[in-house]
Structure 1
Amino acid sequence: MASANVSALLKPVKIGPYTARNRIFMSALTRNRSVPTSVPNEVNVEYYRQRARSAGLIVTEGVLITQQGTEWPHAPGLWSREQVEGWKKVTDAVHAEGGLVYAQLWHCGRVSHPKAPEQIAAGVPVYAPSAISARGGKFRHIPGEPNATYVTPTAIDDPKKLIALFKKAAINAKEAGFDGVEIHGANGYLISQFLETGSNQRTDEYGGSTENRTRFALETLKEVIDVWGPERVGIKLSPAGGYNDMGMPLDDAKETYSYLTTEIDKLGIGYITFARYGEALDPVIDGKKRATVHDVVGTYTPLVKNPNTAVLVNTGYTAEEGAQAVEQGTAAAVVYGMNWIVHPDFAKRIQDGKPLDGFQRLDMMGLYGHYPPYPHTEDLFKGEKLAKLKEDLKKGYTDYPDADAAVPDAQDVPIKVGA
């Protein structure tokens, strides 16, 4: 039985037109298992099915809106008919378990690499707001260049071209049977790059002033709302920056994200997720941490006044702290990350007071995959080799046990990392 200090997380909550069974939501989590060619497969279906049995709402891993915009190998997309059909199997599985699932729409912007196989296949440059390279980070899947780093991107001539890709992906997500979509506006990807002064130095209507730097995010939201209606759309923001070389002076960050939050509030979308500062997502670049550390939740959540827009919080919450945020009215629900990787029944464990013992099995290969890296040959995805590859995909992905099969004497482990 759940302890009284987490019971607030177990109550149903309204998100847009839906009622989620509890307030323990699953964050987008990069897992790199959509092999081959960014198409969801039966292993992905099982992964989401397992977690749909107890999650209040699942937000998928970042779903690429176009073949251009790839940072990781084998991340799923939503630009092709085959991908739509693959995701339809996922959404059917989630719904069969009584779950809700939103697709997180994602474009990597400048943190892609021109020599990545998917980027080459796309036949277009790495696009970003400005021709400014990110610092830090490595690409370990570039053929012949295991230590490849970021390169200077191409400044997009007309940002509306990229907004149109978000809209097309939103249309595809609807056809694939998702319950809604979340715009990935966090963690140093394309929308973050437009928002921040260090990565956006445009002199047109998409750069310079706070109003101009937020224009891309707001126009993207409006185009996606045109497809889904406001109530089935969410957005994730990370005002503290850090990851992928993000981080503005504190005054700029507060002004930018306060203005953006206020303008989003006017749109009446289903939810805004605020990711607070997390040390694990704050790289050391040039000898210093990159993030603009401040009270994200306390600064921006009071600006959400629209009764139709739920506030969600993310990054590093324990179950007890999450329940407190709900009880105090700070958040409608809490979005957890790493715990959902290692506990497919995470919400049920909280409900039943079971231990969180999966972290003892977590490793980097489990996070990001056991499949062979690029380069690969076409016969890797055929016959016995493909069958073997799909078995490898399950390791550290769908093979975590439910609580009934867990190690009996494991200790409760607080959530220290969120996605």
Structure 2
Amino acid sequence: MPAHDPLFEPLAIGDINAANRILMAPLTRSRSTPDELAQTDLHATYYSQRAGAGLIVSEATQISTEGQGYAWTPGIYSEAQVESWKKVTDAVHAKGGKIVCQLWHVGAISHNVFHDGAAPVSASEWTPKGEAFVGDLLPDGPTVPHPQARALETDEIPRLLNDYRHASECARRAGFDGVEVHGANGYLIDQFLRSSVNKRTDAYGGSVENRIRLLVEAVDAAAEAWGPGQVGVRLSPQGGPGGSHDDDPETLYTAAAEALSGKGLAYLHVIRPNNHTGDGKGKDQAADLMTKMKAAFGGVFIANGEFSAAEAEEWVKNGKADAITFGRDFIANPDLPARIAQDGPYNEPDPDTFYGGSAKGYTDYPTLDQS
């Protein structure tokens, strides 16, 4: 039997049957075509190399042109994008893997250059801290300060929900096994959730119930293309770009988990504080909140946040989570489950090649056999 045996037990994730509990986290790599924001044969190679994961969550994939906030990130709303993603899903399935598409709208974490000069949108007027990654689209790039975002009007919400519905349908036609609604990391849905950004006075602002409303409606819209058993949700009580926060994250995110319960969703995917979110010192406190969110949700619970293999095994063995997603470890180790099974050795990731570029640092990390 392999080491870390609990991680190698199969798991029914809603209607998706995962061969193990070592899942691949969504990882923005900014390598899509600059014109169509589509995938290529290189992406098919990259994802198929990692098909040994129990489930792959795709890189964040914008649901519309309005949803983009980073250079060279893929979309899932045009026919060209649907066709390009078919190469990826076919390649993953040929290796026996499963893959879901993460549906993304960045909201204010963006720049006018992606929107023909128009301001990004958010729950309320807001200027995020930090800078937008615009690549070569502006002469003073690759990063420039975020501009002020405008508040989405109430009568624009149905159009936004239709974008989630349409993107989810596009993902189904592209051959994915399901979708994950990205409600985490300070992006649009999270901007509606968090009190530091959401200053609305309509049905989407004020009370916790109102601030959760867009999350629930977006999930319901995405589920129309699939049925709920092939729809997951990602949430992050702390951290994310832009500097947003909530004054009472325990109440808010536990209520969000409860609002998603009983829908028959595939899973809830929660990020604890880590170095990526800039709040690595709060892991113990976050674990307590994650326990409350898991209980409130009542379904398959997936944890993320710089887990070691040993810690992942402990969480699954003790019922803290049903599966664990790994990010940077999967970047550097395409055959990560095999490496975990024999306690390594592990390749080290190269941060200089995380974003942009081509095969270097993307598809050229050696497998155990190659090593």
> Which category describes the TM-score, using the shorter chain as reference length?
over 0.9
**Does 2:359 correspond to 1:394?**
yes
CA deviations 1:305-348 (Å, max 9, x no partner) are 58972000001100010011111011111011000001111111
Partner of 1:381: none
**Does 2:355 correspond to 1:368?**
yes
Task: Tell me the CA shift for residue 137 of structure 1.
Answer: 2.9
d(CA) in 2 for partners of 1:85, 1:242: 31
Task: Tell me the CA shift for residue 80 of structure 1.
Answer: 0.4
Please identify, of 141-150 and 19-28, the stretch whose mean Cα deviation from structure 2 is larger: 141-150
d(CA) in 2 for partners of 1:29, 1:104: 10
Find the residue that maps to 2:276 and give its secondary structure: helix
Find the residue that maps to 2:234 and give its secondary structure: strand
1:143 aligned to which of 122, 131, 138? 138
1:202/1:335 CA distance change after superposition, 3 Å: same
After TM superposition, the structure 1 = structure 2 runs for residues 210-359 of structure 1, keeping only pairs within 5 Å, are: 210-249=208-247, 252-282=248-278, 295-305=285-295, 309-359=299-349
Task: Tell me the CA shift for residue 19 of structure 1.
Answer: 1.9
Task: Tell me the CA shift for residue 125 of structure 1.
Answer: 3.5
d(CA) in 1 for partners of 2:286, 2:253: 10
1:145/1:397 CA distance change after superposition, 3 Å: same
Please identify, of 147-156 and 72-81, the stretch whose mean Cα deviation from structure 2 is larger: 147-156
d(CA) in 2 for partners of 1:128, 1:294: 31
Name the Cα RMSD after superposition.
2.0
d(CA) in 1 for partners of 2:261, 2:27: 26
2:73 alignment partner AA: A
d(CA) in 2 for partners of 1:177, 1:277: 32
Alpha-carbon contact 1:128-1:190 (below 8 Å) kept = yes
d(CA) in 2 for partners of 1:332, 1:323: 10
1:119 aligned to which of 109, 115, 118? 115
d(CA) in 2 for partners of 1:126, 1:8: 44
Find the residue that maps to 1:281 and give its secondary structure: coil
1:254 alignment partner AA: E
d(CA) in 2 for partners of 1:314, 1:152: 30
After TM superposition, the structure 1 = structure 2 runs for residues 78-93 of structure 1, keeping only pairs within 5 Å, are: 78-93=76-91
The answer for unaligned runs of 5 or more in structure 1 is: 283-288, 371-392, 407-419
- Runs of 4+ aligned structure 1 residues displaced above 6 Å come to 289-294
Task: Tell me the CA shift for residue 303 of structure 1.
Answer: 4.3
d(CA) in 2 for partners of 1:311, 1:295: 18
Find the residue that maps to 1:192 and give its secondary structure: helix
After TM superposition, the structure 1 = structure 2 runs for residues 148-167 of structure 1, keeping only pairs within 5 Å, are: 148-157=144-153, 158-167=156-165
Task: Tell me the CA shift for residue 11 of structure 1.
Answer: 1.2
After TM superposition, the structure 1 = structure 2 runs for residues 49-198 of structure 1, keeping only pairs within 5 Å, are: 49-52=48-51, 54-115=52-113, 118-120=114-116, 124-141=118-135, 142-146=137-141, 147-157=143-153, 158-198=156-196
Alpha-carbon contact 1:136-1:149 (below 8 Å) kept = yes
Please identify, of 68-77 and 83-92, the stretch whose mean Cα deviation from structure 2 is larger: 68-77
Task: Tell me the CA shift for residue 292 of structure 1.
Answer: 7.8
1:202/1:183 CA distance change after superposition, 3 Å: same
Q: Looking at CA atoms only, which structure, 1 or 2, has the larger radius of gyration?
A: 1
Task: Tell me the CA shift for residue 151 of structure 1.
Answer: 0.8
Partner of 1:39: 38
Please identify, of 33-42 and 240-249, the stretch whose mean Cα deviation from structure 2 is larger: 240-249
Number of matched residues?
A: 366
Task: Tell me the CA shift for residue 294 of structure 1.
Answer: 6.4
CA deviations 1:359-378 (Å, max 9, x no partner) are 3xx132x10023xxxxxxxx
Task: Tell me the CA shift for residue 24 of structure 1.
Answer: 0.2
TM-score, length basis structure 2: 0.93
Instruction: State percent identity of aligned pairs.
Output: 36
d(CA) in 2 for partners of 1:94, 1:139: 29
